[in-house]
Structures are given as structure tokens and as C-alpha cells.
């Protein structure tokens, strides 16, 4: 234990601590979720402070002490995502994305796909106002579920394997279900089903579009899958 190390990170959350410090919740490519103290950053003259805002992608030098939290000794900006902070919708989506990562990926186990996905979503939200739509937010969540190991079964009935008449979704069964296995399910129309399949298959920037009714069903399928299998509550995506 002890010593200095470097890592890249996304700042998920920042909490006031002691007189002038902040505790940061970080998501890193090699160490998963991490907590760190940024000392003195609430002082006006702090050089670190501005670079460690939530939603920032940074390169850090940290010191590992005896306690649970590392101390940040140096921070350089990789991507500050300044443009998305100027747009309320983009900012809200970015905050939701970080919240979903906070809830779904709380271990110190590295998860490179999840890290890359979050970096990618924040960069897209920063680059274009159009990326703040509901469809992309849902596609991000679904891909995050996949990265976290909780992707729902979409190709055949999650209960019996039937490949036709898949008109419902069962969180407890873990995916779409057929007419004969509908217990504990809710309706999932063809468009919602197609949206989920397309969102998983396509790159994030090319998330498929779907009518509101279909997106609402997809939202429910994603949220209830997270709830049932990961024991995590996600706010609905409106
Ligand atoms: Zn079935």
C-alpha cells in the first residue's frame, strides 16, 4: 500500500468536505469506481479546482495513503465538456449518464467498455445539441446495462426460447417473452422491441429513432431490468 499512481478518470460527483476540500467520486478505466480527496480546491486560488468539476474527463496523479480515499496531487484536463454545460438539456443528460454509472458500476473492478461508453456519451453530448434526445439517452443506458453484464434477452423468449409472438417484456425472466410466458410481464410493442435491438447493435451516435410510445416501453424495460437484476433504481428518461 501507499505510493503515487496516475490514472485517467471521469468526475461523476463532487461533495464538499472539511473546510476547503472536496471528495470526488471518480470512474476510471483501470480501477473502476474510486473516491479521492481534492485538498484546498474550494479556495479561490486553487489551480486544481476548475479542472475537477463533475462531468470532466481528467488525467490525475494520486497518492494512496492509509485511508480509503486517495489524495489528488495533480490534475490535467483531457476534455472539460464546456459546451454541454451551456445547454440545459445536454447538461441534464450528461448528469443522468454519470448517475447511471454511479449506480450500476460501484465496484473497483475495471470495466473498460463502460468507461469508454461514458467518455463517448459525454463527448457526443458536448459536440452536438441533437445528442440530448431521448432515444440516445436510452441507447446509452441499454449499452451500459450490457457493459455491466445485465443486457436483456431480445432474440427469443427469455423463459422458453420461442422466437415468435414476442409481444411482452418480463424483467424477472430477463427479456422479451412470448404469449405463453406472459406472467409478470408488460406489453412491449414491435417498435419498442426493434428500438432495443437496434440500439444495442448500432453505434451510440446512430441510435435508432422511435415514436414516444415505443420509447416509453423501452425505458420501462431498461429501468425494470436494472431494478430487478442489478437492484438499482434509475430515474425514467423523459
Ligand atoms: Zn415463452
In angstroms, what is the span from residue 183 Cα to ligand 1's centroid? 10
**Residue 194 grid cell:** 426493434
In angstroms, what is the span from residue 188 Cα to ligand 1's centroid? 14
In angstroms, what is the span from residue 163 Cα to ligand 1's centroid? 8
Q: What is the pLDDT of residues 132-172, one digit of tens each?
A: 999 999 999 999 999 999 999 999 999 999 999 999 999 99
Q: Please provide residue 23's backbone torsions phi and psi, each rounded to the nearest 5 degrees.
A: -100, 125
103-115 b/e (C-beta count within 10 Å ≥ 16 → b)? bbbeeeeebeebb
In angstroms, what is the span from residue 181 Cα to ligand 1's centroid? 4
Residues in Cβ contact with 158 at an 8 Å cutoff, skipping those fewer than 6 apart: 152, 170, 173, 174, 175, 176, 177, 181
In angstroms, what is the span from residue 187 Cα to ligand 1's centroid? 14
pLDDT at 1 over 70: no
DSSP calls for the chain: --EEEEEEEEEEEEEEETTTEEEEEEEETTTEEEEEEETTTTSTT-SSGGGG-TT-EEEEEEEE-SSSSEEEEEEEEEE--TTGGGSHHHHHHHHHHHHHHHHH--SSS--HHHHHHHHHHHHHHHH-GGGGSHHHHHHHHHHHHHHHT-PPB-SS-TTT---S---EEETTTTEEE-GGG-TT-EE--HHHHHHHHHHHHS-GGGPPP--HHHHHHHHHHHHHHHHHHH--------
20 neighbors 43 (Cβ within 8 angstroms): yes
Give the pLDDT of residue 19: 87
Q: What is the distance of C-alpha 217 from the center of its chain?
A: 19
In angstroms, what is the span from residue 153 Cα to ligand 1's centroid? 12
**Residue 154 grid cell:** 431480445
Q: What is the pLDDT of residues 102-132, one digit of tens each?
A: 999 989 999 999 999 999 999 999 999 999 9
75 neighbors 54 (Cβ within 8 angstroms): no
pLDDT band at residue 40 under the 50/70/90 scheme = confident
The span from the CA of 114 to the CA of 104, in Å, is: 10
61 neighbors 72 (Cβ within 8 angstroms): yes
Global pTM?
0.95
In angstroms, what is the span from residue 72 Cα to ligand 1's centroid? 52
In angstroms, what is the span from residue 95 Cα to ligand 1's centroid? 37
In angstroms, what is the span from residue 171 Cα to ligand 1's centroid? 13
pLDDT at 180 over 90: yes
Torsion angle of the four alpha carbons 72, 111, 109, 51, in this order, in degrees rounded to the nearest 10: 10
In angstroms, what is the span from residue 165 Cα to ligand 1's centroid? 9
- Residue 120 CB: number of other CB atoms within 10 A? 15
Give the pLDDT of residue 2: 66
Q: What is the pLDDT of residues 65-97, one digit of tens each?
A: 888 899 999 999 999 999 999 999 999 999 999
Amino acid at each position: 500500500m501507499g505510493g503515487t499512481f496516475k490514472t485517467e478518470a471521469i468526475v461523476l460527483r463532487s461533495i464538499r468536505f472539511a473546510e476547503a476540500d472536496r471528495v470526488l467520486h471518480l470512474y476510471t478505466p483501470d480501477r473502476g469506481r474510486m473516491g479521492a480527496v481534492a485538498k484546498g480546491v474550494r479556495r479561490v486560488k486553487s489551480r486544481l479546482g476548475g479542472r475537477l468539476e463533475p462531468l470532466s474527463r481528467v488525467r490525475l496523479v494520486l497518492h494512496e495513503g492509509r485511508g480509503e480515499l486517495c489524495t489528488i496531487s495533480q490534475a490535467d484536463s483531457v476534455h472539460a465538456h464546456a459546451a454541454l454545460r451551456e445547454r440545459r438539456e445536454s447538461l441534464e443528460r450528461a448528469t443522468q449518464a454519470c448517475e447511471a454509472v454511479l449506480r450500476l458500476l460501484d465496484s473497483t473492478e475495471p470495466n473498460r467498455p463502460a468507461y469508454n461508453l461514458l467518455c463517448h456519451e459525454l463527448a457526443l453530448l458536448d459536440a452536438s445539441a441533437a445528442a440530448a434526445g431521448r432515444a440516445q439517452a436510452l441507447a446509452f443506458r441499454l449499452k451500459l446495462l450490457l457493459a455491466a453484464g445485465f443486457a436483456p434477452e431480445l432474440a427469443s423468449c427469455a423463459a422458453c426460447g420461442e422466437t415468435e409472438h414476442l409481444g411482452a417484456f418480463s424483467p424477472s425472466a430477463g427479456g422479451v417473452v412470448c404469449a405463453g410466458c406472459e406472467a409478470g410481464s408488460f406489453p412491449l410493442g414491435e417498435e419498442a422491441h426493434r428500438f432495443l435491438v437496434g440500439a444495442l447493435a448500432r453505434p451510440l451516435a446512430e441510435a435508432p429513432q422511435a415514436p414516444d410510445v415505443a420509447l416509453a416501453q423501452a425505458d420501462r424495460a431498461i429501468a425494470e431490468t436494472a431494478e430487478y437484476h442489478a437492484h438499482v433504481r434509475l430515474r425514467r428518461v423523459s
